[in-house]
Structure 1
């Protein structure tokens, strides 16, 4: 290559090209700014708060809050009673021991939320008093919003964390790492570690048996547990080994977790535990070292750090400008050549995307899927094929999506659109993106593998899977509602999914819902209420999930996402697809359920295969919620935040008319004022019967499906 030019995509760019010089200058500025930022960070190291206890007794008792059945005795924290002379005394007990001070775990700043890092290392002895009976129930490291004791009824499987009334509620504001010795229906086994958020149903769990660790073995064994949290990368890591052994190189459990979403700004740290009946155990903490990054004086740190924050802000701005310039530059190149981008251009674009995950080697994914063997195929959709894979050396199971539209340009467009959405989303009920690969026109995305497949497989006995019981159906819908609320309201930008259906709801090992397939998802521009993609026409989707207004506009909003969710709720409760072939006189499940509601026989809609094994009040609430979400008028449908509260039982479902309202066109809301789409003016449109009228929406504020 000559020094006078730089080769890209079969044409050259002279080094004196103004565009190239500008990009090069921007890169230099960014590097200088980032160097300055690093120096500023080094100049202001964070202080730490440390607590270290080699034993527990009168000398440090005032450092702790003991509640319920907890105490200290024989140099240890006894989270539940320590007597083995009278077993009846320690049955069905729960307790908590928390440090009596709070820790500031996060605070908002101009540059984004600052989250504290911490390390918690403790030694435990979970003793099984009898070798003839199994142990029970478990012990957990806990981050709690207050120093109150465990709620009433938190013994048994609730581990001193929650009870049957509050389990799973967002208002709990707790995060815990559990050492569980009893297998519930949602647990992998009776010897595992789990990460719990507001619930005893773990968001992530890992069996300890393959590691040769038995939490409560026959005969006392002391273990060391390491819990590390990095507030910058938002990564939590958990390790465990027999006391005296070094920390393992490979974690037992590792998860991405934004603590600021789940715990109070000022929270307590400590332990919770429980026993059951007839199973019981002694839950003893023998020693504890805790180091927490000091954010207590956040205001002082903000003042002290204004200089480097300004630097970061400028750097981010420069990077954003550079990204825009590069984007326009690449568009100019594509127009000039009128051909597909070369691998070097596409890969360069991908590597500059913010938050971009790991880039996989193609050979690694080829080996993981046995050369994309048909026998490894998990499913196929409009954009590509999904294969199961196992990474060599790591043993980790993955799902690999291979984009396969006939037009390679369309495949690249599909690939980039899905990647630029999903790589920034972080939520426990979304399928997690692990990485990507682009090799000679082959486009691959790598996701977490979901061992329990998709929801529709469990509803319709796909692959010989057992029928999904009632409690798991409610659990799945609650998780899915949480993900929808995150996409619409909690993420930095509003995201419309546009393809919610049972085959796109995946189930992890604990039957937690994970919404997937973001091929149609789009980010809503700031200041708008929905995404507009006006250069493309058409409305793909699955009949039964598509809101009626979409057939007239070829566009979608948050409300059409809610309609699809409502169709899914009815599907899960009834065990029937939204478009039914086995219902006389009905083609849509929605119409049948609404007729049952009119006739006062709503519960007849519940899946008959459950043989009456369901909770009547829950079933009625879910069916009414499904009808409310499926209301023909978009403005009458509940918002995602309300759906979450309704599923938790804290809010009653909206009032649903006995007769299904007629769909009106032009739609009443939220399409007020879309004269260019409907031929009608705002004055001809009716307001919502609820009395609430949303802000005017223009043609720029509605979504077009591609």
Structure 2
């Protein structure tokens, strides 16, 4: 298993105790979206343990957990009577909010909305599955990924009803059920006995497609593991389904896609999971792993209870008693230490004891300078607060200076003080020409403010995705901006007296001064790590903080921010700056910019990736374009140790080193990276059993599989030649 325990806003004593226990767990994360400022909940099950039934999953009917997998129907070879006419479901215990009625949004708004004012959550999921024919008999009946109103499964839902409904309820709109079925028996309403379908309150699918033309057989004679990806866009009200042999990359084509307005069919709070059934024919329906990421529409983005309310990855494979003990300890430490957080005098002591002694501003002075925090003076908004432009008197008579004032939006009881102290303690001693300079701070009556140098040219993001009246950012400026960010990152990683991981490197956090020089800013997520350590384990925020498209794939498995994960984010910024496209975008059948650039590189067409506006004007240097694109791909390599260091990055950008060598195909993401099967890895003094699995995430799907690996029928990692379709 090996997934980390993920904690949110826990006192350090409780966190330390839980880390000593080193409980393997599912990972529940909240991360920001680059374009909508949404947050997302991520659930990751690399495998399944029987204790899940008492913690994270609800097991219904004939389903169960054995051999590290969800058995949606009985897993036995003892007697046919235990296999025929069975049905089962497995659902997350926690319901998730899938739509909200909100005021209709204008076309210029950045908040997702529609004319009806209903915001529907987007989600991505991927899971590995094995459907096994017993004695090579004809399989039956099928399985489905489901979104259901509750855990109750109607009686008589075996055979062709796939554990979804029954003869009485089939087609009833009160089912509030949506499913993607994978059916191995042909009914009168089915295209064949090997198809995928979209079911809405009914096993008569609204849309179907045969899998045979894709050379995919759900239950082949030779047992095969498959990976299935399902992506849903709540804004476009559309669903896409992909399927491939496990270990192969996510295909560029879908096996099914259809319009789907979830908000019209499912309950506002619904459950995700799986169902399956057998009839007179039978098969084993095994879900081997599962990852789910859902846009968080819960009130305050804090969840409505269960796992999201706790923001705690509940332990996998740990007896219920241990979970109860841990919960009790958390309450004890929270109650014991809560007065420390809320004591203003202690906060002031911390502020005034900070090294470097940043300037303390008077609240009334900043309030006046921002015109009482006028919306018209707002420069931007992030996960930790809002930023306003302000004008303050300078040191000389009549002198005026422009500053940016960050007002923390989280109050003391929610940890705003901690966020404030984290950011202030890290940035107040940083001194580098490509970092935004801290001017001072203010704290009064629970209002927390930081004052920075004002950046008159805004953010890199603003210029790359500019409005009509913003001048095009020239190639020379883009190259120099990337060089500045690289220099700042190298300083944080290697030259400052502490090693600092930024953890939120993205185009919107790259600020531009009056001369368009890069200034890396927003240290709200940054953390210093011990000199003898290589990573920072998040103990205070739920899951993996950051923004989708910039988060390295290993972070979803480790919960650790490292210098290598910062380099991954830097690579996303490089590609974004050269191409003028966001890291997560739909282009030529790819969902991520890096995958598209990799394809162009393989086809010797790298220059086609240049921002079309620069290409049209002929404003770029071909040699430098290739240099930066290869660097961006090298930083995007799935294996952290294969990414370049910041020292190498600086040399490459300064043209004192050759561009990195990059494989023609993007390697598959293998986790744990470079760990032989069954090897025991020591980490922070603790021993954990790690098993290697190939992960092709819906977020980090490879465009192709360079020197691919695949999961064999026995579940172990095997090397193989590239399939003919990939050559």
What TM-score do you get using the length of structure 2 for normalisation?
0.46
Structure with higher helix content: 1
